[in-house]
Structure 1
Amino acid sequence: MIDSDSVSVTAKDTSTIDSVVVGASIAGSYSPASGAGALSIGVALADNDIDNDTIASIDNVTIGASDDRTGR
């Protein structure tokens, strides 16, 4: 049971998102009079790190035990 005339709730969120992305590509071609040829290679790498810390506090509240079993 929480009994109070007014309640103040404060929360602080310190979320961070860190992203690292790397890409590479190689291309080629050849044809002296249809000796033909072609080459293409592509690579993409990504790393995402998401961190979330939230701290909340309640002020102006008296919290205690009670023998009241009614749930009020």
Structure 2
Amino acid sequence: MLDRLRQKLITFWRGVRNATGDDAYQRYLEHWYAAHNDDQTQPLSRREFFQAEQQRKWNRPNRCC
């Protein structure tokens, strides 16, 4: 019974992290290693990723019309 409760809590916590974007860097790394691991480049650091996401988020028009 404790194992089922533990699994449900883990699933819930993963859902919370996904909904809030807290796991964005982890998901980026998973994608990068799956799609770009053969390249001679390195993935962005956590700081570089955060800065790139901030620029992507705020350097675009924020109006509807």
Normalised by the size of structure 1, how large is the TM-score? 0.16
Question: Relative to total residues, which structure has the larger strand share, 1 or 2?
Answer: 1
| CA radius of gyration, larger in | 1
Question: Relative to total residues, which structure has the larger helix share, 1 or 2?
Answer: 2
Normalised by the size of structure 2, how large is the TM-score? 0.17
